Amino acid sequence: MLKFVYLTATQTVAMLYSFLLAMVLYPEAQKRAQDEIDALTERGRIPTLRDREHLPFIDCIIKEIFRWAPPTPIGMLVECISVFSIPDRLINAPQ
At residue 11 the predicted structure's pLDDT band, cuts being 50, 70 and 90, is confident
Closest listed residue to residue 19, CA positions, set 57, 52, 68, 56: 68
> For the chain, how many residues are written?
95
In tens, the pLDDT along 30-56 reads 999 999 999 999 888 999 999 999 999
In tens, the pLDDT along 65-95 reads 988 888 776 555 555 555 555 666 655 555 5
φ, ψ at 71 (rounded to 5°) = -75, -10
pLDDT for 43 = 81
pLDDT for 88 = 63
